[in-house]
Amino acid sequence: MESFFVRYRNIVVLLTLLVAQILGLAVQVHRTDAGRTSLDPNDSSGVRLIRLWANTIVSPPEHVAHSSGHGVSWVWNNYFDLRHVRQQNQDLQETVDRLRLEEAALLEDARQGQRLQALLGFQEKYIYKTVPAQVLGTSGTDLSRVFNIDKGKDDGIARDMAVITPDGIVGKVRDVFPHSALVLAINDPTSGAGVILETTRTRGILRGNAFGQTQIVDIMADQRIKPGEAAITAGGDLIFPRGLPVGVVEKVVNDPDRDSFIDVIIKPAAHLDRLDEVLVITSTEPRFPSEQKQDIAASQALKASDLDEMNAQKKASDIMAERLPGLLDPNLPADQQPLKDDSNPNPIARVPQPLHPDRFSPGAGTAGTGQGASKPEVIPAKNAAHPPSPTAPSTAPDQPQPQREP
């Protein structure tokens, strides 16, 4: 049997020559980045056709093989090789829970720090001496509004001391133990505090009701009391100092037992349902910061210097009054002197006596009414105003003088 190459020798030689020619051209011809061919050998940016063809032939199978290997690896890692994933998930869940607890603790510490900072700032500025205390727990019943604090008799706490917060009053100390105390809140029915409405100046007693609300009882009906009016402590109960915030008026209701009285429901200024830290007023003697003490000392020194100056001026005026002549009227008797008459706070000087008294003068009417009394001579107005001239003839002494009857 004739061989294939012998039978198709010419065609094989021709194909071989064509392939060699094509390969030669592919080695010599360059292809630019823009897709055009270039015969310039100095063009280094071009790619030989032989390489381009080889890349075109080899790239698809290589991509297929790479994708297949990557897919097989992903399937193996995510579906078959899961021996430690369950344990890792459990460890991660425990870590997440622990971090959440730490975050909650840090958040609570931050809030407590803010509350303590505000409490400390209020304590430093407050005029009375206070002791901070932590709320331990409540009584656990709706009929009694009491709670425990972690300060007691050893810390200077005594019965009936006022308990407050920076927002307002809270209650008073009811029972005292060595290291703890029981506080009666203002919304307890057995509590009581003297309060006053800030706008209408209406006074009343603050008590709690069965629903845990604070209300002012024993107030006559007054149309001026409106919701939103602030209430402060009156200071008459000798427990809460005067002027502490109590709350605001929430609503006004009629007293069911007495028609002419009303109950004023008060919204407390302090958050009685979520108390954490409180202040116990242990002394009502005012205490002032160092700056205020310096100001008070300076004002007292200035007041003392002013008082000394006033005393010196008074002493100088007394000495000057002794040296000056008396302000007395020499024409009046001693009992009628203006400065000696103590009966009238605004004394008036005595009316001076006339120079030429007649019967019409005050005090002369009774003297001239008796018989034998000489009648005063009436001088004409012309002669009284113009006395007679020395050259005028005088009246003879033996002629009788004319008499005029009144």
Q: Please check whether residue 324 lies inside any domain of the structure.
A: no
Task: Note down the domain range covering 69.
Answer: 4-73
pLDDT score of 297: 74
51 in the same domain as 200: no
Other C-beta atoms closer than 10 Å to the C-beta of 311 total 10
230 in the same domain as 137: yes
User: By CB neighbour count within 10 A (0-12 exposed, 13-18 middle, 19+ buried), where does 200 fall?
Assistant: middle
User: What averages of pLDDT result for each successive group of 10 residues across the chain (406 residues)?
Assistant: 70 80 67 56 59 75 82 76 78 91 87 78 78 83 80 90 90 91 90 89 88 87 87 87 90 82 90 87 73 72 79 79 59 59 52 69 53 45 44 44 46
Q: Please check whether residue 140 lies inside any domain of the structure.
A: yes
Ramachandran class of 370: left when φ > 0, alpha when ψ lies in -120 to 50, beta otherwise? beta
pLDDT score of 371: 44
Please answer whether residues 194 and 169 qualify as being in contact, where contact means their C-beta atoms are separated by less than 8 angstroms.
Answer: no
CA dihedral (8, 9, 10, 13) in degrees, to 10, reads 120
| CATH number of the domain within which 183 lies | 2.40.10.340
Q: Please check whether residue 350 lies inside any domain of the structure.
A: no
267 in the same domain as 151: yes
230 in the same domain as 159: yes
Cα dist from 101 to 88, 109, 110, 307, whole Å: 20, 12, 14, 68
Please give the order of strands across the beta sheet that includes 30-31.
Answer: 37-38, 30-31, 47-48
Q: Please check whether residue 41 lies inside any domain of the structure.
A: yes
306 in the same domain as 168: no
Q: Please check whether residue 199 lies inside any domain of the structure.
A: yes
| CA distance linking residue 253 with residue 126, whole number of Å | 35
Closest by Cα among 123, 124, 141 to 133: 123
The domain boundary, picked from 233, 262, 283, lies at 283
130 in the same domain as 233: yes
188 in the same domain as 155: yes
The domain boundary, picked from 265, 283, 301, lies at 283
221 in the same domain as 162: yes
309 in the same domain as 242: no
139 in the same domain as 10: no
223 in the same domain as 300: no
pLDDT score of 139: 72
Closest by Cα among 128, 123, 135, 156 to 233: 128
Cα dist from 174 to 41, 190, 206, whole Å: 107, 11, 17
Split into its structural domains, the chain has a count of 3
Q: Please check whether residue 101 lies inside any domain of the structure.
A: no
* pTM confidence score: 0.49
290 in the same domain as 274: no
Q: Please check whether residue 276 lies inside any domain of the structure.
A: yes
Q: Please check whether residue 244 lies inside any domain of the structure.
A: yes
